[in-house]
Amino acid sequence: MSATGQGKGWDVLDSQDRARFEQLVLPHLDAAFNLSRWLLRSRSDSEDVAQEALLRAFRFFRGFNGGDARAWLLQIVRNTCYTWLEKNRQVELMTEFDEDLHQQSTANPETLAIAGDNRERLARALETLPVRFREVIILRELEGCSYKEIASITSVPIGTVMSALARARQRLQRALTQPAQQEAPREL
Amino acid sequence: MSCDFSTTLLHAYFDGELDAMRAAEFERHMETCRECTATLGAAESLRASLQRAQLYETAPPNLRKKIRAELKVPSATSGSSSVAAWKWFAAAAAILLVTGVAWFVVPHGHTGMSASAVTSTEVLDAHIRSLQAGHLTDVASTDQHTVKPWFDGKLDFIPPVRDYMDEGFPLIGGRLDVLGERNVAALVYGRRKHYINVFVWPTKEPDTPIHPAGSRQGYQWVHWRHQGMEFCAVSDVSAQDLHDLAQLFIQ
């Protein structure tokens, strides 16, 4: 993972690479922070994790082939978040998310609209979703990523992205319209 | 569910990720399926709520500073390069500002092409498909006299084909494609290392000027009509580049 034998990570990049990194990758810091904030459900933790991810990206920058810099960075951010969750909140990663799609019924649009107008409630409903559902909602609805981008960020096939999004939206609608049922453990 | 249209496909349609044909199929299905109409309405309502709630959380300024400081760890580099580095900083900061602002000002909505029967989603899909499938061209040639006759007999019209190599848009080839259930010609041009698809099909509508560029998911498109042909150019190059290419077609 580290640039072994080449000294500290940033030393291996010359000033030209550094300039490119600042030009291509740093502008996506907000996207990096937003993703980690929602994956970790905490602003303070995500500051640390986003920072770590950016430094990691900087070390790996030589391996960046010049494609979509945002997707490339978000993939690193996501991996860093998962590593952090594994270490600190393993339970969250074990939450099953393979739920039956058939027992759902379409949420009543009015109830949904009323519930959705409350930012606090919406944020909480989003946080109750298993992390693998939450991430597709964040990437699609907040970050505006295409399925292809989400697939590359989360390292799954496009078909999986599609079905995860369909389920995630249904779960979120349900969490919004039947609140206070299964709140995820909030950190202290 | 009584409806046999899969929920997954419905969401793909909602996200503009279905290909033109399946999207059209779904739209036909929607005319009679109340269940799908309701599900789609719920998805729209949810998206509207998420956008209204402004859940996007930007990085605190001190985080940006901290990362900058970390990246600028003074290694053994010379003093002269640090001046250059500061210039880059300023440039990066400007870009940061611009992209940051653009993100909020230009949400990923549909723009442009509203008067046209072919949706922007279809055009973007067709463009992305052409890049994904390794099927960019059916006829690969930089020679307009090879590409143009190739379409002969394959379509019920002959698209105007010219190479704009000297203007910085080399012709790469052509291909048959489908937009909104109609066969269209796709002309492929290069721009530096990027590809531009120019879709062409006949129209009875009068000429229209080059429409201001639409933009979604990092792609831009421009649309115009000229001498009985309808054009849509789409790519990840800048809107200005697309506009320049469109100008060449009209000249």
The mean pLDDT value for B49-56 works out to 89
Amino acid at B161: V
pLDDT single digits (tens) A69-113: 999 999 999 999 999 999 888 777 776 554 544 445 566 666 666
Q: What are residue B184's DSSP bridge partners?
A: B177
**For position B93, what pLDDT does the model report?**
59
Nearest residue in B to A21, CA atom: B92
> pLDDT tens, B173-203?
999 988 877 889 999 999 988 999 999 999 8
Residues in A touching B38 (Cβ below 8 Å) = 106, 109
Q: Which pLDDT score is estimated for A103?
A: 46
Question: Which pair of tokens denotes residue A144?
Answer: 């505006």
Which residues of chain B lie closer than 8 angstroms to A72, CB-CB?
none
Q: How far is CA B55 from CA A34, A83, A123, A126, B51, in A?
A: 9, 24, 7, 10, 7
Given a cut of 80, whether residue A50 has pLDDT beyond it is yes
The minimal CB distance from B84 to the residues A8, A15, A140 is found for A15
Judged by CB atoms closer than 8 Å, whether chains meet at A21 and B71 is answered as yes
Q: What is the C-alpha separation between B165 and B141, in angstroms, rounded?
A: 12
Residues 29-58 of B with CB under 8 A from A: 35, 38-39, 41-43, 45-58
Touching A: B residues 126-155, CB under 8 Å: 128, 132
Instruction: Give the integer Cα–Cα distance in Å for B26 and B120.
Output: 17
Determine which of A14, A18, A145, A150 to mutate to test the interface with B (most B C-beta atoms within 10 Å). Answer: A18
